[in-house]
């Protein structure tokens, strides 16, 4: 087995050669993959750029005439396909990459295509900035290069690269007996934020007491998208979407918790996975510190959740749009689905007396949702707040009934 070592060798060949040497000293084999566009410098790759381009289905001469964005996307796509094939053949134990802005984009595009749990690390010149577009909802580790990766080694870059090689060697050594991803019946995905914490923790306790495995996903953009991806990959048996907060930000097109990939509240329906949906934390948008709040939102109800996060109430019109969007997405469901509505509030701040409480906005959502929702999808209305124990109890009862019915059908068939 080998560690895939990725870089644009026309500009980062010396750095990649150094990493290969350090990995060899640590007893690991590197497979160098060139994702550059021109002749490599300082190293001969094991997989050349032409092979990467061919895997992406493009010819070098034709690719170089395309816009830069298309070139980057093609190289990332081709490298990702190569990595997936190596992993499927049992030849890949990890992936380590280096890059500037463009190289990081290519390397991360490739690494995002690998499965959860496979060690991946990128040393990048842009790692101290916003890495969301690069990492997405994957578990790629990132290390800042501090100095630019340009012209070979120096007293700043060398220790960073040494640490990167050691970190990768450590990850693959500890994970050498990496267990296959769990695919057992009983993995339930639950979505969470601090504002729905009491409901989430009670629901998780109930489901675990019934012998189910439970994974909570923080509904802060990447978390919800990661859950959707794992559902699509067949890794999830059921979804208890208590906190689909990202849907509001996706529909409104504003907020720091917009999903990394669009399409929140869709994967379970497409896959036919049993799902119970609640409107946890749908009534507000999240932004950063108070001074980050865009001018159009500054006259709304706000609450400073912490010094780096402010919540802003969604308008009644926006809540109606969210209700319609949720209905459209749930209407495409091919499996069992139910909506459970806590009529007295959807978050700690959004209940009676809370700083973001808006009963009319909640009513606008409910009216739009129920009007557009498929008539065979049940809607449970409970006269409680989302964080009251009775709410979590009811949601779990509905989900468990779905799972029991599915098990009975499977046994009968």
Q: What gap in Å lies between CA 194 and CA 206, rounded to an integer?
A: 19
Angle between helices 197-209 and 389-412 (to 10 degrees): 40
pLDDT tens figures, 50-96: 999 999 998 888 888 888 889 889 999 999 999 999 999 999 999 99
Whether 293 and 356 have beta carbons less than 8 Å apart is answered as no
User: Looking at residues 191-207, what average pLDDT do you find?
Assistant: 96
Please give the pLDDT value at position 152: 83
- CATH fold of 187-412: Rossmann fold (3.40.50)
Please give the pLDDT value at position 377: 98
Homologous superfamily in CATH for domain 2-174: Uncharacterised protein family UPF0261, NN domain (3.40.50.12020)
Please give the pLDDT value at position 65: 82
Please give the pLDDT value at position 239: 98
Q: Could you check whether 2-174 and 187-412 share the same CATH topology?
A: yes
Instruction: With a cut of 70, say whether residue 140 has pLDDT above it.
Output: yes
Whether 312 and 297 have beta carbons less than 8 Å apart is answered as yes
Q: What gap in Å lies between CA 204 and CA 223, rounded to an integer?
A: 17
Supply the DSSP string of 204-229, one letter for each residue. Answer: HHHHHHTT-EEEEEE-SSHHHHHHHH
Q: Which residues contact 69 (CB under 8 A, 6 or more apart)?
A: none
Which CA distances in Å does 284 have to 115, 119, 132, 161? 33, 36, 22, 43
pLDDT tens figures, 393-407: 999 999 999 999 998
Please give the pLDDT value at position 169: 96
Neighbours of 106 (CB within 10 A): 29
Please give the pLDDT value at position 69: 86
Whether 228 and 264 have beta carbons less than 8 Å apart is answered as yes
Domain segments of the chain as ranges: 2-174, 187-412
The backbone region for 272, taken as left when phi is positive above 0, alpha when psi lies in -120 to 50, beta otherwise, is left
Model confidence at 185, in pLDDT bands (50, 70, 90)? low
DSSP 344: T
pTM of whole model > 0.75? yes
Instruction: With a cut of 90, say whether residue 410 has pLDDT above it.
Output: no
pLDDT tens figures, 322-368: 999 999 999 999 999 999 999 999 999 998 999 999 999 999 999 99
Whether 52 and 7 have beta carbons less than 8 Å apart is answered as no
What is the bridge-based pairing of β-strands 2-7 and 30-34? parallel
Within 2-100, residue ranges assigned H as helices are: 9-25, 49-55, 60-63, 68-88
Within 131-196, residue ranges assigned H as helices are: 132-135, 157-174
Model confidence at 183, in pLDDT bands (50, 70, 90)? very low
User: Looking at residues 27-31, what average pLDDT do you find?
Assistant: 97
Burial class (CB in 10 A: 0-12, 13-18, 19+), 391: buried
Model confidence at 303, in pLDDT bands (50, 70, 90)? very high
Mean pLDDT of all residues in the chain?
A: 93
Model confidence at 180, in pLDDT bands (50, 70, 90)? very low
Q: What gap in Å lies between CA 282 and CA 285, rounded to an integer?
A: 8
């Amino acid at each position: 087995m080998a560690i895939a070592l990725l870089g644009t060798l026309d500009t980062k060949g010396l750095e990649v050669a150094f990493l290969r040497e350090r990995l060899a000293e640590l007893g690991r084999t590197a497979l160098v993959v060139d994702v550059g566009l021109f002749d490599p410098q300082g190293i001969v790759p094991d997989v050349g750029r032409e092979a990467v381009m061919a895997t992406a289905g493009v010819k070098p001469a034709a690719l170089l005439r395309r816009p830069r964005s298309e070139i980057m996307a093609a190289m990332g796509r081709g490298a990702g396909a190569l990595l997936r094939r190596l992993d499927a053949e049992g030849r890949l134990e990890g992936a380590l990459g280096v890059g500037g802005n463009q190289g990081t984009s290519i390397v991360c595009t490739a690494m995002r295509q690998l499965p959860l749990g496979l060690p991946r690390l990128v040393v990048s010149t842009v790692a101290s900035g916003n890495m969301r577009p690069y990492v997405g909802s994957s578990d790629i580790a990132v290390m800042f290069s501090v100095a630019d990766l340009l012209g070979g080694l120096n007293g700043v870059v060398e220790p960073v690269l040494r640490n990167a090689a050691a970190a990768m060697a450590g990850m693959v050594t500890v994970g050498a007996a990496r267990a296959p991803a769990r695919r057992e019946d009983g993995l339930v995905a639950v979505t969470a934020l601090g504002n729905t914490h009491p409901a989430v923790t009670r629901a998780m306790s109930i489901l675990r007491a019934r012998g189910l495995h439970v994974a909570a996903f923080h509904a802060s953009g990447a978390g919800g998208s990661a859950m959707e991806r794992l559902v699509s990959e067949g890794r999830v048996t059921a979804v208890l979407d208590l906190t689909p907060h990202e849907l509001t930000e996706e529909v409104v097109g504003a907020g720091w918790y917009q999903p990394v990939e669009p399409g929140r509240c869709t994967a379970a329906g497409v896959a036919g996975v049993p799902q119970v949906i609640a409107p946890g934390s749908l009534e507000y948008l999240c932004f950063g510190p108070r001074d980050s709040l865009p001018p159009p939102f500054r006259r709304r109800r706000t609450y400073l959740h912490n010094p780096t996060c402010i919540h802003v109430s969604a308008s009644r019109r926006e809540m109606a749009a969210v209700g319609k969007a949720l209905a459209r997405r749930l209407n495409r469901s091919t499996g069992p689905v139910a909506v459970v509505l806590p009529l007295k509030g959807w978050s700690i701040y959004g209940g009676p007396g809370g700083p973001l409480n808006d009963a009319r906005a909640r009513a606008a959502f409910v009216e739009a949702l129920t009007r557009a929702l498929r008539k065979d999808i049940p809607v449970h209305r409970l006269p409680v707040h989302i964080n009251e124990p009775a709410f979590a109890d009811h949601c779990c009862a509905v989900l468990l009934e779905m799972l029991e019915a599915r098990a009975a059908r499977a046994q009968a068939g």
